[in-house]
Amino acid sequence: MSIRFGTASLIKTTARLLSRGQNKMSATLSRPPTPLRDLPTQPEDERFIDKGAACEWAEEYRPGRFHPLHFGDTLGSGRYRVIRKLGYGSYSTVWLAVNAKAPPKYVAVKVLLAKYSLPARPCPEIDIARTLATFTDTGSRHILKLLDTFQQEGPNGVHTCLVYEPMAGTVASLVTTFPGNFPVPGQVFDYRPARYEKWMGKRILKHTLLGLQFLHQNNVVHSDLQPGNLLFSPHHLDDVPEADLTQSTTDETTVSLQRKDGKEDKWGPRYLALPQSLHKYANLEQDMCIKISDLGAAFLKGNPPNKIVTPVALRSPEVILGRPVDEKIDIWSFGCLVFELMTGTRLFPVDDLGSQEEVDDDHFLALHDVLGELPEDIAAGWTRRNLWFGPAGERLNPYAPKPSVETGSKHDDEVNGGHEVGNQDSRHSGIPADLELPSEEYIITPSPPLEQLFDENKPDTIDEDEARVITTLLRRVLRYNPADRPSAADLLAEEWFRDA
């Protein structure tokens, strides 16, 4: 009797365990709910295990956003076979693919977020690129050419895809690969500027001007001119065997993607691919060719978008102030690039940290120090100018600590340019009542003027005479009034560019 009871008990226990296992397996294998279109704001709402991969955020793979891709997948009704990840951005991923209808054998396919493929969200980049692709002017060879466009359907929606000629790397990224431009082993703080040889820097600038001239002649304003959007052409890439360009899942350039609940996810890829540049194939010889890329922020002259996306340190005064803009914002950015490519340092070291008002303060101060006093119309648009300059134009320091009644002294008054900024009522000083002041004095050192700044940062290959030629050119370009700035064609006529 006891034996029969024990056997029955064992059978029941086993059944319960099997049932639990089946329930657990069923929970794992059951279809997960469709992710929300909005990105999660809390870690507990994220679907995937975060492995810290240096690529796009895994949570971006959801309806309306990124299209999941794997090596070997095809796009464009089977025409383009993906073999390598080239890059990613806020609005797209970019892949190297084999073109079934070569030439060219290889192409770069830019896959946009699905939400930018909706009828309500047209893609101006396509319209502008298609128009420019019909021209064969000399300058057109310095604009990245659009080869094809198509729509790709996937689990996250319909994606607009743009097909371009593949490029070998950006001016921003390739500079670090040159000897002497990367940190010395063992030296944690190595502040040597990374810059190109002078001849190469001039060539980059001249090709950029040729591209700008072409854009502006066709009434296109780029508005996002920066080293990251200037690309080196590859050297005979079509001659490279496919095996040499193919990225593999067996190396360390992919990271497996796993859901926290262990379920399969149809909206994301099985793995994340780390971008692999084509730097080693860049043409860095005398016949090198630079192309301007990324027309995503471009617009037709007279029809600017609501927001200009020029990198913060390359903004012209009219962009900072939100005033009407035209192609001269590209000329201003170009002037900043001249200084950066010749010296390896930024002309205006402004970062988009802090509030917009603080960023703009830093930018206006840099303009004042490097280029000279701001004209009245620009100064009037700077809403917080009275924090930094007194009624007679004297420099103030609003971040000086407030001296107490006991410790206030004549020295405190002198430090603040004769104005007791830290000690007066904010209602009379113009300083916001909620402005947080540091406990210790924050020393603000004005930047030297343009000519001195250039001399302090230029390489030995630029002598004093050439330095004056370059700074004179910069003074001509970096005019506060857009109408006073030269055109790209005017700059190409400059003697300094003729041998570039």
- DSSP string for 235-287: SSGGGS-HHHH---TTSTTEEE--BTT----SSS-SEEEPP---GGGB--STT
Q: Are the beta carbons of 417 and 390 closer than 8 angstroms?
A: yes
| Cα–Cα distance measured from residue 407 to residue 388, given in angstroms and rounded to the nearest whole number | 23
Q: Residue 476: CB partners within 8 Å, gap ≥ 6?
A: 485, 486
Whole-prediction pTM: 0.83
DSSP one-letter code for 234:
B
DSSP one-letter code for 202:
H
| Cα–Cα distance measured from residue 96 to residue 165, given in angstroms and rounded to the nearest whole number | 10
| Cα–Cα distance measured from residue 53 to residue 255, given in angstroms and rounded to the nearest whole number | 7
Q: Are the beta carbons of 229 and 211 closer than 8 angstroms?
A: no
85 annotated to bind ligand: no
Neighbours of 232 (CB within 10 A): 23
Domains of the chain: residue spans and CATH: 56-166 (3.30.200.20), 314-498 (1.10.510.10)
Per-residue pLDDT tens listing for the chain (500 residues):
444 445 555 556 555 655 555 555 554 567 899 999 999 999 999 999 999 889 999 999 999 999 999 999 999 999 999 999 999 988 899 999 999 998 999 999 999 999 887 665 667 788 898 889 888 888 899 999 999 999 999 999 999 999 999 999 999 999 988 876 665 555 555 556 789 999 999 999 999 999 999 999 999 999 999 999 999 999 999 999 999 999 988 878 999 999 999 999 999 999 999 999 999 999 999 999 999 999 989 999 999 999 999 999 999 999 999 999 999 999 999 999 999 999 999 999 998 888 999 999 999 999 999 999 999 999 999 999 999 998 888 888 887 766 555 544 444 444 444 443 334 444 344 555 565 554 445 556 788 999 999 999 999 999 999 999 999 999 999 999 999 999 999 999 999 999 88
